[in-house]
Amino acid sequence: MTLRSDDRIIDGTRFITTSLPVLDGLVLWAQLGKLAAPALSKLRSVDATGVASVLARLGKLEELDAALAGDIFAAFGPALTELFAKLEPATMRALARSMLASTTAIVDGVKLRFADGDVAIDAAFGDRFGTFMKVLFWVGRHNFQSFSSAPHASIGGAQPAVSR
């Protein structure tokens, strides 16, 4: 089975990503979960309507602006405080590298493979932190969109391999 690819122009730069192989994706998912689960537990005390509104808007990359950023901090403040309290610089770098391992940027006609290291990542983004975050969200959604349906298979959505 082949890995899915997607390409998108984000803030004027073309990015191409290919899905991580399933075991690499599973390891990354576990690393993200280990980091995010304690923070997400803080959302119990947050207004669910505000959280739902922010999550719906996060799906639209073009809307990642100052107003949305303010709403994110308002809705997710306690969770973000918990997350950033435990997030070490080395962990952030490792997670970003893992997320972007199968992604390439084309800048001025030059292919920059992020798997080649930090120099390629820095060359593609420069000081464009907002663009970097948009790409991370897009790559994450690309890699983990099939996970959202995986638990349903064990709950009754599985189809028999052979009909009887």
For residues 42 and 38, give the distance between their C-alpha atoms in angstroms, rounded to a whole number.
7
Mean pLDDT per 10-residue segment, the chain (164 residues): 89 93 88 80 63 60 58 70 81 90 94 93 94 91 71 44 44
Question: What is the separation of C-alpha 108 from the centre of its chain, rounded to a whole number of angstroms?
Answer: 25
For residues 118 and 148, give the distance between their C-alpha atoms in angstroms, rounded to a whole number.
30
Predicted pLDDT at 8: 93
**Other CB atoms within 10 A of residue 53 CB:** 14
Predicted pLDDT at 43: 67
Predicted pLDDT at 60: 56
Closest CA to 133 of 57, 80, 69: 69
